[in-house]
Amino acid sequence: MRRRLAPEDRQLEIVEAAERLLAARGAQVRVEDVVAEAGAAKGTFFRYFPVWDDLLEAIRRRTFARWTERYAPPAAGAETAAWSSTLETLVQAFVDFTLSQRQLHAVLFHSDFASRRPLAPQAGAVGQLETLIRAGQAAGAFAPCDPRLTASYLFAVMHEAADQAADGADRSYVIEGAAALLRRVLVPGDAP
Amino acid sequence: MRRRLAPEDRQLEIVEAAERLLAARGAQVRVEDVVAEAGAAKGTFFRYFPVWDDLLEAIRRRTFARWTERYAPPAAGAETAAWSSTLETLVQAFVDFTLSQRQLHAVLFHSDFASRRPLAPQAGAVGQLETLIRAGQAAGAFAPCDPRLTASYLFAVMHEAADQAADGADRSYVIEGAAALLRRVLVPGDAP
Amino acid sequence: MRRRLAPEDRQLEIVEAAERLLAARGAQVRVEDVVAEAGAAKGTFFRYFPVWDDLLEAIRRRTFARWTERYAPPAAGAETAAWSSTLETLVQAFVDFTLSQRQLHAVLFHSDFASRRPLAPQAGAVGQLETLIRAGQAAGAFAPCDPRLTASYLFAVMHEAADQAADGADRSYVIEGAAALLRRVLVPGDAP
Amino acid sequence: MRRRLAPEDRQLEIVEAAERLLAARGAQVRVEDVVAEAGAAKGTFFRYFPVWDDLLEAIRRRTFARWTERYAPPAAGAETAAWSSTLETLVQAFVDFTLSQRQLHAVLFHSDFASRRPLAPQAGAVGQLETLIRAGQAAGAFAPCDPRLTASYLFAVMHEAADQAADGADRSYVIEGAAALLRRVLVPGDAP
DNA sequence: AATGAATGAGGTTTCATTCAT
DNA sequence: TATGAATGAAACCTCATTCAT
């Protein structure tokens, strides 16, 4: 049963099959499962992803793209009166996005893969947060600080919020807590 | 070549051998390597650690103990005039401690093991930080907040600082940045 | 169904199983076949022969040993009046020995293995022939020549005789032809 | 990028590409490498050579042709006063020819291919040697013997000489040794 | 005739874990 | 309690060959 496809299409089928399985079963997925789900042969898998981690990297890229689609930060120079609520929206979106794909999240960001294939520092939500901080500073709404370093720290907080929620903590509570933390760090005069 | 030892001694030999190897070679270490280093037989290993993760858990416990030895937080009720510098000392100690055992850190906290065997929320440095926050609040030096949740968030920041330093960022710079963040969050009136 | 054996015994079982299969089916044999025949598990095979060629090398050694058992050259210094018939006996023994294990011979000496794992020059029948030549020369029965080089050439002839016989040529005829050739080369005054 | 060629030209391109690669990298060469080098598609390869061994057979034929070009034996009935030096020339030419394409030689004559696709007995240098022996006998210069069988034996010696040289033995020495052996076998009264 | 994506059996190797001794 | 041989599922990967286009 040989189906000939354009390489991009075939690759896409494999990636989507893998995403489906990883979302459902987490790290237990094997090459064999993926090709079964994708209706392809083993050799075909290795044509597109010579090493398993290559697949995970592709999935990570897609996940970032999906996130960017879901949450677009205010454009630089935007007249945003309410920077505080922007922060809250961000945290909320991030936590919900992460919760919506727990298992996949664990595979991509809490596994050996994550240390074998480190991310560029400006990739994904961290880079986005950095951009947001720069915009807020340019607008005079955020306190001065190293945007990149602060972004990595505050992203760690958001990430932790998502992990807490995934572990059963109350979603709104952790979101509000994290958002408050971000406000205190970024917004001058934000009193406890 | 059978060496009879008290069970605790035998177990200790194995753990220490494993620590040595994990510190040097990270995640590549196998049961076989450990028993070779420890001078024990494979079956003996599994008597003490029925599955591999049990060994890692034991090592994690020891690592926490070592950390507690190295950094003791101010006792509750202590008269600490300088809570800000307490925070800085903590961040610094934590980053240095983590850097001193990078490979081991990666295995314990950035690998599949970490998600297979989640930590109790109050374990290790997080619990310590929670205690510290409560003490600061009791002394009226820290702003009111949920100590446990805030501890988990701020620990995430410290952890990120250590990872940044491990990735080659300037140690003092990331420490200072993280300490500043902790101050802003905890100390009322800490202006940017 | 776990059978615990002394390592040598288990290794022997595997080698013997492999020999049986190689003799019967030639180069088509796979690890899986061998372990099935030997009643062992795949992992057991690789404990003893980390690489397939290691197995073939072991079999080659055994084959040489078996040959040495079957044909012992005259001891150095022996009073052998009839060096010519010694040569004939040698050729005949060699051809018959080779014919008795054609398939195995092909695998060991006419396959990629042979070039991947070259033989020491004095190994097996070549070394034996060298010894024989030296003995004949010491007895004044053989013409002077480089014993090692000549041995390698005359062994090539014997080998070719065996291959011819394996290919269907008349056994006695090729043996007599090869023996005559050896005589002409080694025995002074042997007229055509 | 489809290039239309006369079938013979296309086939020739493939064979030449394969020869180049086999000469350089020996048995590691894959169909994929060959078509890349030849600028053809995989399917095209199999149009001309339905199985890989067909390619090797074609190359073997070309190698024989090249050899015949390089070394032409004295025509039957030629007046060759110096049959001994003819033998020496032959050995020398053969060893040098073989050395000039070691890797290719190994693939063609010391690999599984050689046993999967046996040669006709009169092919190549063996047949040539047979012809030479017949000519020498016709001229009364060589002793009587079965020309075909003797040719196969003496060719084995030449082959071994080439292998020795390829393994690092002194070229002139092994050539002289082999030539002397051929003389002793073929030329009556050639004393040691 | 040409292309190159797809196939899938084959093969090597690893290693946590088991269990006979 | 200790030993270490044995297990076997997995994982990874290759590559000659096929065949839809």
Across B88-97, C114-123, C137-146, least confident range? C114-123
Q: How far is D118 from chain C (nearest CA, A)?
A: 10
Burial of B17 (0-12, 13-18, 19+ CB in 10 A): buried
Which of the two residues, A79 and B15, has the higher pLDDT score? B15
Can you read off the two tokens belonging to residue B186?
A: 């905890």
Give the number of other CB atoms < 10 A from CB of residue B75.
9
All structural domains of chain C: 1-50 (1.10.10.60), 59-186 (1.10.357)
C chain contacts of residue D162, beta-carbon cutoff 8 Å = none
The whole-number average pLDDT for the span A19-27 is: 91
Q: Is A187 helix (H, G, I), strand (E, B) or coil?
A: coil
Q: What's the pLDDT at B124?
A: 86
Measured CA A23 to C1' F10 distance, in angstroms: 21
**Residue linked to tokens 């009720």:** B77
**D33: nearest nucleotide, CA–C1' criterion:** F15
Name which of C149, C177, C188 is nearest D149 (Cβ-Cβ).
C177
C-alpha closest to that of A87 among A165, A155, A171, A164: A155
Average pLDDT, chain C: 91
Q: Which nucleotides of F are covered by protein (CB under 7 A)?
A: 1-21
Among A20-24, A124-128, B76-80, D38-42, the least confident range: B76-80
Q: Do D159 and C159 touch (CB under 8 A)?
A: no
Q: Which sign does the torsion angle of CA D113, D117, D122, D123 carry?
A: negative
User: How is A46-81 classified by DSSP, letter by letter?
Assistant: HHH-SSHHHHHHHHHHHHHHHHHHH-PPPPTT---S
Confidence label for B78 from pLDDT (cuts 50, 70 and 90): low
Asked whether residue A189 carries a pLDDT value surpassing 90, the answer given is: no
Q: D149, C164: Cβ pair inside 8 Å?
A: yes
Measured in angstroms, what separates residue D46's CA from nucleotide F17's C1'? 8
Provide the total of helices (H) and of strands (E) in chain C, helices listed first: 10, 0
pLDDT of residue B82: 84
Closest-CA residue to B150 (of A149, A170, A88, A177): A177
- Four-CA torsion B108, B109, B111, B117, nearest 10 degrees: 80
The SS3 call for residue B110 is coil
What's residue A180's pLDDT?
96
Report the distance from CA of residue B142 to the C1' of nucleotide F5 in Å, as an integer.
62
**pLDDT above 90: residue B189:** no
* Structural tokens at position C49: 């022969």
pLDDT tier for residue B79 given thresholds of 50, 70 and 90: low
CB-based contact B112 A114, cutoff 8 Å: no
Predicted local distance difference test score (pLDDT) of residue C116: 86
pLDDT tens digit sequence for B1-37: 566 678 889 999 999 999 999 999 999 999 999 999 9
A78 confidence band (pLDDT: 50, 70, 90): low
DSSP label of A142: S
The answer to whether the Cβ–Cβ distance between A157 and B159 falls below 8 Å is no
Which residue from D minimizes the CA distance to C112?
Answer: D111
Residue A72 has pLDDT above 90, yes or no: no
Rounded to an integer, what distance in angstroms lies between the CA atom of residue B165 and that of residue A153?
Answer: 13
Residues of chain D with pLDDT under 70: 1-4, 75-81, 191-192
Task: Check whether B75 has a pLDDT greater than 90.
Answer: no
Q: Residue B134 and residue B144: Cα distance in Å, rounded?
A: 9
Contacts of B86 (CB under 8 A, 6+ apart): B73, B74, B80, B132, B136
- Whether residue A121 is predicted with pLDDT greater than 90 in this model: the reply is no
Contacts of A150 in chain B (CB under 8 A): 177, 181
Residue D192 is predicted with a pLDDT of: 54
The A-side interface with B (CB below 8 A) comprises 27, 106, 110-112, 114-115, 118, 143-146, 149-150, 152-153, 155-157, 159-161, 164, 167, 169, 173-174, 177-178, 180-181, 184-185, 188, 191-192
pLDDT at residue B86 greater than cutoff 60: yes
Instruction: Establish how many alpha carbons lie within 13 A of residue B23's alpha carbon, considering only the half-sphere containing its beta carbon.
Output: 13
The per-residue pLDDT for A136 is 92
Per-residue pLDDT, averaged over C110-136, amounts to: 89
Rg (C-alpha) for chain D, rounded Å, is 19
Q: Which residue does chain C place closest to D120, by CA atoms? A: C167
Closest by Cα among C176, C155, C138 to D181: C155
Pick the more confident residue, C58 or C27. C58
Distances (CA, A) of D118 to C174, D53, D57, D110, D114: 19, 11, 10, 12, 6
Burial zone of B146 (CB within 10 Å; 0-12 exposed, 13-18 middle, 19+ buried): middle
Q: What is the pLDDT of residue D8?
A: 87
Taking CB atoms and an 8 Å cut-off, how many pairs form between chains A and B? 81
Instruction: At A4, give phi and psi (nearest 5°).
Output: -95, 130
User: Touching C: which chains, 3+ CB pairs < 8 A?
Assistant: D
Q: Given the structure tokens 């983590």, which residue do they identify?
A: B98
Higher pLDDT, C2 or B184: B184
- Give B17 to chain A, closest Cα distance, Å: 22
Give the integer Cα–Cα distance in Å for B135 and B142: 9
Residue that wins the pLDDT comparison between A155 and A83 = A155
For chain A, what is the radius of gyration of the CA atoms? 19
**Residue range C31-50, pLDDT digits in tens:** 999 999 999 999 999 999 99
Could you give the maximum distance between any two Cα atoms of chain B, in Å?
67
Percent of all residues in chain A with a pLDDT value above 70, rounded to a whole number = 95
How many angstroms separate the CA atoms of C37 and C17, rounded? 6
Q: What are the counts of helices (DSSP H) followed by strands (DSSP E) for chain D? A: 10, 0
DSSP class of C4 = -
